[in-house]
Homo-oligomer: A and B are copies of this chain.
Amino acid sequence: MIRGYLLDLDGTVYRGEHLIPGAKETIAELRRRGRKVVFLSNKPLYSREDYAAKLTRLGIPTSKDEVINSSLVLAEHLAREAPGSKVFIIGEIPLLKELWQAGLNITEVPEEVEYVIAAFDRTFDYRKLNIAFQALKRGAHFYATNPDRTCPVEGGEIPDAAAVIAALEATTGRKVEKIFGKPSRYMIQTALEVLGLPPEKCAMVGDRLETDIRMAKENGLTAILVLTGVTRPEDLKDSPFQPDYVLPSLAELPALDAEIGGEE
């Protein structure tokens, strides 16, 4: 009896600046039925406010608290594990802001750094690489926001956080210790806390087998694949990550919810 939905954004709710047809109506209908809905993104490039504003602009009224991105999951984890600790971040301003708001101290002095954070960073350069390298050689923890190789953009894709993680692993000989974006259990845990529901009452809806579907299956959630993103029907047979349901798009979710949804 599903009562909460975790919705991936790009490829599921929208593509770039355009809503997937039916997405707006589906989310309105789920909310009307009393379902709880949160939106998930691996991207640490934008703040949760940015995502909420975009969804609202596109016709899906959303508050910051309904958005969970890898920056938030990391910030909450660090704030609990090592409150006020000193971090060095290879990342962009919205990530720095999220960590700063969580009470962490940002430093660029390798000798002081307790946690190195590798993220998607379009301002990545050798100076940052070397600061992180020196801190890791001195024993700092090695965390990352998200494991993605590439990020889709208008007309193609660009290098994502995997570039930063790989550069640090190759030069230090160390392995990243924790990654907080999909498909990590940390992201699911944060989402379930926000929803206030156990995993068996939640469904994850997304377009990627190796992140969305994998994370749902590994954590006891119902897994729903939509075909409006990167996955084609023929990709399913070769994947170790098999969804419980496959929908053409989010437009078909209310009909499925009528079947799998329920109340207390």
Q: Interface of A with B (CB < 8 Å)?
A: 121-126, 129-130, 133-134, 137, 149-150, 156-160, 162-171, 173
A134-B156, A162-B171 known; A121 and B126 CB under 8 Å?
A: yes
A126 near B166: Cβ-Cβ < 8 Å: no
A124-B126, A137-B157, A166-B170 given. 9 additional CB < 8 A pairs?
Answer: A123-B126, A125-B125, A125-B126, A126-B159, A149-B171, A150-B171, A162-B171, A163-B170, A166-B167
Q: Closest approach, in angstroms, between the C-beta of A74 and any C-beta of chain B?
A: 20
Bound state CA distance, A164 and B165, in angstroms?
A: 11
Q: Which residue of B lies closest to A134 (CB)?
A: B156
Q: Which of A122, A123, A125, A130 is packed against the most chain B CB atoms within 10 Å? A: A125
Neighbour of A122 across the interface among B121, B124, B126, B169, CB < 8 A: B126
Bound state CA distance, A168 and B162, in angstroms?
A: 9
A129 near B133: Cβ-Cβ < 8 Å: no
Q: Which residue of B lies closest to A147 (CB)?
A: B170
Q: Closest approach, in angstroms, between the C-beta of A170 and any C-beta of chain B?
A: 3
Neighbour of A167 across the interface among B137, B157, B158, B163, CB < 8 A: B163
CB-defined contacts of A126 to chain B, threshold 8 Å: 121-125, 159
| A-B contacts, 21 listed (Cβ < 8 Å) | A122-B126, A124-B125, A124-B126, A124-B129, A125-B126, A126-B159, A129-B163, A130-B159, A133-B159, A134-B156, A137-B156, A137-B157, A149-B170, A149-B173, A159-B167, A159-B171, A162-B170, A163-B170, A165-B170, A166-B170, A167-B167
Bound state CA distance, A159 and B130, in angstroms?
A: 6
Q: Closest approach, in angstroms, between the C-beta of A133 and any C-beta of chain B?
A: 5
A159 near B129: Cβ-Cβ < 8 Å: yes
Q: Closest approach, in angstroms, between the C-beta of A168 and any C-beta of chain B?
A: 8
Bound state CA distance, A137 and B150, in angstroms?
A: 11
Bound state CA distance, A165 and B170, in angstroms?
A: 9
Bound state CA distance, A125 and B121, in angstroms?
A: 10
CB-defined contacts of A149 to chain B, threshold 8 Å: 170-171, 173
